[in-house]
Amino acid sequence: MTEIRRSYEEGCIAAHALDLIGDRWALLVVRELMLGPRRFGALRDGLPGISANILTRRLEDLEAAGILAREAAPGMARVQMYRLTEAGFDLWPVIRALCRWGAGQPGHDPRLFISPTALMLSLRAMCARDRAVAQVVAIAAAGEEFVIHTAPGQFRVARGTAEAAGLRFAGSTNALAAALYGPMPLAETARGLIGFEGDLAQGQAFVDLFALRPGG
């Protein structure tokens, strides 16, 4: 079935924004690019419910809207990657607001698929920065590696490895989400639910920065 793209045909600027990013999957494609460029296959991995045809269409639409751009993969001129433009990165406050709003609504099922990028962005959205201390944390989630830098009032996350990380977490995204957001103390979740290396008290303090209720 051919997808029919519709416009709200309103002068309202909110309606104009939804004309650009309101189609199904569009914001989730943007989400998967928030931490850097991705190849088509990596985007599919992060969005297992989307078909190849629909993903291709969303990428084309977002490129036409100036929200993302294509570029050659490093050292592989024939391999395309997709990256956000400045306008695309400017959608972070929208995604952050949706994370925080959605956390307060009933019906959320944390047992469903969570992409590694989605988990990292949820931590970025929900972190209690006012209680953060200066530290480097490494997280290996479902085969992807991330480095988190915190400091009073700050939280930064990027893909990559950190040799000097004081705390290391590893596991599936769902297990990590349960450990970071769940009610069980780290001393229990580190006994088999996830992998953990580092000082347990410091690790618990890091876990305590996150709650599925803003300000919680």
pLDDT at position 81, please?
96
Residue 102 domain-assigned (yes or no): no
CATH number of the domain where residue 66 is located = 1.10.10.10
Residue 2 domain-assigned (yes or no): no
Q: How are beta strands 76-84 and 68-73 bridged, if at all? A: antiparallel
Q: Who has greater pLDDT, 156 or 6?
A: 156
Average pLDDT of the chain is 94
Same domain, 171 and 116: yes
Q: What is the pLDDT of residues 56-80, one digit of tens each?
A: 999 999 999 999 999 988 888 788 9
Q: What is the pLDDT of residues 101-133, one digit of tens each?
A: 999 999 999 999 999 999 999 999 999 999 999
Residue 95 domain-assigned (yes or no): no
Same domain, 122 and 65: no
* 9-41 exposure pattern, b = at least 16 Cβ within 10 A, e = fewer: eeeeeeeeeebbbebebbbbbbbbbbbebbeee
- Kindly state the tokens that stand for 184: 């069980």
- Kindly state the tokens that stand for 81: 């990657």
Same domain, 52 and 136: no
Same domain, 115 and 80: no
Determine the average pLDDT of the residues in 84-89: 98
Residue 6 domain-assigned (yes or no): no
Same domain, 68 and 143: no
| pLDDT higher than 50, residue 216 | no
Residue 82 domain-assigned (yes or no): yes
| pLDDT higher than 80, residue 213 | no
Domain that holds residue 155: 109-207
Residue 215 domain-assigned (yes or no): no
SS3 state at 90: coil
Same domain, 199 and 122: yes
Q: What is the pLDDT of residues 23-40, one digit of tens each?
A: 999 999 999 999 999 999
| pLDDT higher than 60, residue 214 | no
Same domain, 147 and 203: yes
Contact indicator for 23, 61 with CB cutoff of 8 Å: yes
Residue found by looking up tokens 């400017």 in the block: 90
Determine the average pLDDT of the residues in 85-92: 98
pLDDT at position 16, please?
95
Strands (E), the chain: 38-39, 68-73, 76-84, 135-141, 144-151, 154-159, 167-171, 195-197
pTM score: 0.93
| pLDDT higher than 90, residue 136 | yes
Residue 99 domain-assigned (yes or no): no
pLDDT at position 2, please?
55
Same domain, 116 and 81: no
Q: Which of 56, 90, 124 is the last residue of a domain?
A: 90
Q: Which of 47, 62, 90 is the last residue of a domain?
A: 90
CATH number of the domain where residue 180 is located = 3.30.1050.10
pLDDT at position 5, please?
67
Q: How many structural domains does the chain have?
A: 2
> Taking the mean position of all CA atoms in its chain, how far away is CA 172?
14
Q: Which of 90, 122, 140 is the last residue of a domain?
A: 90
Same domain, 169 and 197: yes
Residue 214 domain-assigned (yes or no): no
| pLDDT higher than 50, residue 159 | yes
| pLDDT higher than 60, residue 10 | yes
**Percentage with pLDDT > 70 across the chain:** 96
pLDDT at position 173, please?
98
State the DSSP string of 16-40: HHHHHH-STTHHHHHHHHTTS-EEH
